[in-house]
A and B are shown apart, each in its own frame.
Chain A
Amino acid sequence: MKNPEEIYELLKKEFNETIFGLDKDTPVENIISVDPMNIHKIGAFLKDNEELKFDSLMVLSGVDDANGTKVKDEDGTEVITGGTLSVYYHLHSTVLKHKITIKTSAPRENPEVESVYDVWRTSDWHEREAFDMFGIIFKNHPDLTRILMPYDWDAGYPLRKDYKNPEFYQGMKVPY
């Protein structure tokens, strides 16, 4: 069983500059931030390393950080430019009983994150959901399609903070 600092040290030793830091200000969880384009490698290390053995991905969540510049549209809705979208990975080792949270952020305009599909199969539908809700592109995911919204939904990504309901969907008025 390792505490977050030890896990952070291990990762830092192995991956150096692709590990950005350890956030210790949060009251409950400590979060390690990593580089979005190296998450697959880091994930595989976290899973296979003898001292870590994170064999279970409890949840993968997309988050809109809403930390860009916010401009009010003429109709009162907010438009956000710049800033980041993030993905949180909550890992648990069923063997060694420790937990860690990994966070990776990608720019809002080009949110590309590596898929961890072949490390933890759990991430399959969770990544599709994050794509569906936030438009985060998971590189190398075998079937990155919408999952909860209709397949032909073209009005954007509902869980983004600046999402605006479309006026029409398939010729039907929304809200009807």
Chain B
Amino acid sequence: MALKTESMILNMGPQHPSTHGVLRLELEIEGELILSVKPHIGYLHRCFEKHAEAMTYPQVIPYTDRLDYLAAMGNNFGYVVAAERLMGIQVPERVEYIRVIMAELQRIASHLVAIATNGADIGALTPFLYLFRDREYILTLFEMTCGARMLYNYMWIGGLSHDIHPDFVRKTKEFINHFRPTVVELNNLLTFNKIFIERTANIGVLPVDTAINIGASGPVLRGSGLAFDVRREDPYSIYDKLEFDIPVGQGMVGTVGDCWDRYYVRVLEMEQSLRIIEQLIDSIPDGDVQSAIPKRIKPPKGTVYGRVENPRGELGYFIISDGNLNPFRVKVRAPSFVNLELMGELCKGHLVADVIAILGSLDIVLGEIDR
């Protein structure tokens, strides 16, 4: 006679150090084995979209900072790209150059957090400290430029809030020289560490067709082997003139699309971001960064969907204008919101401890999921 067994419901979160914010995962488990995972979100919901309807277009920008607070530059970028497309504004070359440099620095900073916390969640605390030290360099660069370390309100519709500091170019080059060896160090310390590979290789394998169908984007999609990048696919700003590769997961230590692949795509992307910055840093054109900012921002009647490649994936803003000073509707397509849907697919059949590794490899920020 077979023993009668029964599955058990386990709540992970809302207060759990490895859920990267206030997220509750409802796990259905049988012993240590996961049968299903259901994410419950909304604990940080503050209805950004309702706020946006009550504000003028420039006033929305500080709120976008608070969506994905680890990549606030990218959020600003997405919003201004959408708004400028709706209004038909051409921004000066200098502004484009500085925007792209900032966005790429932000990408490195954000990936550093992703990599560091992914390691720390599964027990590798040392790289965490090393990487946060390097992120500090970038935050100092931002602080030097606009006075804020995390929430910048830097990119404005048609321009920038501040010009770069006279020392910015020199310090950025210093950072690049300092940072390259760190990546090698990181690879020795964590990427090819036996224990780390054991914890992440062949865990949470995401097949590429599932990834496309669910709408995954960013390193999560590229980790599954598809070279899809909004910067290349749907170029905005000056990305069509820049040279960079799109790293994809190759299953170097396991299967294509496992946690390690998603992790390693981020490591490789940091190098590509450095490449982009190097192409631009010496040739920033002269000019005024505020010359193209309109006196009165009042877009014509119409709709626009603008998307950019944020560190976490495709960030899109859908803006409806009714011809007034306030947007009629702003909808944010947050990359983490869509990527988190994958949890149910990825965790099936794995152990409870793997949930942490998988969640870390998806790199979510609850600020933009709950909005």
B28 shortest CB reach to chain A, Å: 15
Of B250-258, B278-286, B331-339, the one touching chain A: B331-339
Q: 8 Å CB contacts to B: which residues of A46-91?
A: 55-59, 61-64, 88, 90
Contact B233 A58 (CB under 8 A): no
CB contact list, B22-70 vs A, under 8 A: 41-42, 45, 47, 49-50
Give complex CA distance A28, B337 in Å: 26
| Interface residue ranges of B295-335 to A (CB < 8 Å) | 300-305, 307, 314, 316, 318, 320, 329, 331, 333
How many residues from A make CB contacts under 8 Å with B? 35
Decide yes or no: A59 and B88 within 8 Å by CB, A94-B228, A149-B42 being known contacts.
no
Q: Interface segment, A5-13, A104-112, A117-125, A166-174?
A: A117-125
Residue-wise interface mask of A (149-168) relative to B, using a CB-CB cutoff of 8 A (1 in contact, 0 not): 11000000011000100000
Residue B214 at the A interface, CB < 8 A? Answer: yes
Q: In this complex, what residue of B is CB-closest to A129?
A: B337
Given contacts A101-B305, A120-B213, contact A27 B42 (CB under 8 A): no
Tally of contacts, chain A with chain B, CB under 8 A: 88
CA gap between A61 and B41 in the complex, in Å = 18
Q: Report if A31 contacts B (CB, 8 A).
A: yes
Contacts of B50 in A (CB 8 A): 158-159, 163
Q: Is the CB of B302 within 8 A of A61?
A: no
Q: For chain A residues 87-105, which have a beta carbon within 8 Å of chain B?
A: 88, 90, 92, 94, 97, 101
In contact, A122 and B318 (Cβ under 8 angstroms): no
Also in contact, A59 and B47, with CB within 8 A (given A28-B303, A94-B233, A147-B41): no
Query: Quick check: B49 and A159 within 8 Å, CB to CB?
Result: yes
Judging by beta carbons under 8 Å apart, are A61 and B331 in contact?
Answer: yes
Residues of A within 8 A of B271 (CB): none
Known contacts A29-B304, A147-B41, A158-B47, A61 near B212 by CB under 8 Å: no
How far does the Cβ of B89 sit from chain A's closest Cβ, in whole Å?
12
B350 close to chain A: CB less than 8 A: no
Which B residues touch A148, using CB under 8 A? 41-42, 45, 370-371
Q: Which of B155-182 contact A (CB under 8 A)?
A: none
Smallest Cβ distance from B51 to chain A, in angstroms?
Answer: 11
A28 touches B45 (CB 8 A): no
On whether the beta carbons of A59 and B41 are closer than 8 Å, the reply is no
Nearest first, the 7 closest Cβ-Cβ pairs linking A and B are A122-B215, A26-B302, A59-B333, A61-B331, A148-B42, A148-B45, A28-B304
Task: Give the interface of A toward B (CB within 8 A).
Answer: 25-29, 31, 55-59, 61-64, 88, 90, 92, 94, 97, 101, 120-122, 124-125, 133, 146-150, 158-159, 163
